[in-house]
A and B are shown apart, each in its own frame.
Chain A
């Protein structure tokens, strides 16, 4: 079983819709969770982090954490074609990040 799992996609949504990206993790002791966006050939760019159960909102992005169920999600409201990228879920494992394989999001105009 992989430590951090994501559906590889592609997840295709129309422009203006809500994109929902999900991630599950195996280490119940994990405390910090990160969402990175990566455009093709570019570096992972941090877009959200969350430490506590519940929701955290930042502009069009909402991160949701449920430690009991060991999942993290990212909602993107009013999706734009520029949001098309690979979204990486990362879990802090003490002094390193453990990444999922990423979900490719395609927002169609």
Chain B
């Protein structure tokens, strides 16, 4: 069974540009999460989908970030326009249930904003 996959693995863009990150969760996992780790800091929660619905987006830093999950399958995270402080590693995770259920992480997308 395939794990969580993310695309691209790396992205280098200039300040002001737009970037879209994609996550494909483990098949059958209704719960999908986005996390981010910026340099020197701990991994921080961004948001949580249950199927196609946003359950919690309290961790989204500002309105430059937009997450979608079409049809409850894969998810995209768009940053528009990107700023220098958006640089970091963006992880996606999925789980079968929530509230204590094990989350499995993807390999992450390393975003560098110049």
Instruction: List residues of chain A with CB under 8 Å of any chain B CB.
Output: 2, 4, 31-32, 34, 36, 42-46, 49, 51, 88, 92-102
Interface size class for chain B?
20 to 34
Min CB–CB distance A17 → chain B (angstroms): 27
Across-interface contacts of A92 in B (CB, < 8 A): 99-100
Q: How far, in whole Å, are A81 and B108 apart by their CA atoms in the complex? A: 25
> Are A32 and B100 CB-contacts (below 8 A) given A95-B56, A96-B33?
yes
User: Does A43 contact B98, Cβ atoms closer than 8 Å?
Assistant: no
Tell me which of A4, A36, A43 contacts B108 (CB under 8 A). Answer: A43
Nearest residue (CB) in B for A96 is B45
**Given A44-B91, A100-B42, A95 and B103 touching (CB < 8 A)?**
no
Evaluate contact between B56 and A43: CB separation under 8 angstroms.
no
Contacts of A46 in B (CB 8 A): 102-105
State the Cβ distance, B22 to closest chain A Cβ, in Å. Answer: 15
- CB pair B99–A95 under 8 Å, yes or no, is yes
Residues of B within 8 A of A31 (CB): 100
B88 adjacent to chain A (CB < 8 Å): no
Bitwise, B5-48 to A at CB < 8 A (1) or not (0) is 00000000000000000000000000101010000011111001
| Known interface pairs A43-B105, A101-B41; 14 further A-B residue pairs with C-beta atoms within 8 A, sorted by A's residue number | A32-B100, A34-B102, A34-B103, A44-B43, A44-B91, A93-B45, A94-B99, A95-B31, A95-B99, A96-B56, A97-B35, A99-B35, A99-B42, A99-B43
B49 to chain A, nearest CB (A): 10
A49 to B70, CA, bound (A): 31
Nearest-neighbour CB distance to chain B for A72, whole angstroms, equals 14
**Bound-complex Cα distance A107 to B45 (A):** 30
Determine if B55 and A95 form an interchain contact, defined as CB atoms under 8 angstroms apart.
yes
Please measure, in the bound complex, the distance between the C-alpha atom of A46 and the C-alpha atom of B4, giving whole angstroms.
Answer: 13
